[in-house]
Structure 1
Amino acid sequence: MHNLKELQKQQVGLRLPRYLIDDIDEFTQHFSLNRSEVIIEAIKSYIKEQKLNNFYEQFDDSCKQLTSYLSDAQQTDSRLQTLDELINELEHN
């Protein structure tokens, strides 16, 4: 959640290609919104999607690192058969 200061609006200048303005205007007429509301929702949606993509990329990288580590650990130390043993090994080495 955002605090009141973060929710305050600030006017900014923005130059957009004409075709985007035309698309925005179609939305404003169809949904009874103003341009600012359409642009705000589009930006929020884009940022949310990018954060989600970033999360999944980091998760994928972490999974690859874990897979690599487990593969190396399995080759060098066959004692690590369970997750508990792996955690114990990581905590003590």
Structure 2
Amino acid sequence: MKATWNNQIIAQSDATKVIENNHYFPADSIHKEYFKESSTQSNCPWKGVASYYSIEVGGSENKDAAWYYPNAKHGAKEIENHVAFWKGVKIEQ
């Protein structure tokens, strides 16, 4: 699977995990040079507290376009520290 935004591959992996129709990419499969830590957090009742990244490519920013669970709850441990995307990031094979 590939995640692309602004015509740039920002993550690529053969080992994504699909939860609620989102592909979660292993942390070592993202191209970290395009990711900036965000202070944004949200809470999922069964997955836990999500942290966010903003994505920067070619001088453009996509604020909070990626999220991950650094300390996932028991039922979501398989996606702990895996990164998922939204806000126009294209996921394809």
TM over 0.5: no
Give the number of the structure whose alpha-carbon radius of gyration is greater.
1
More strand by share: 2
Q: TM-score, normalised by structure 2?
A: 0.24
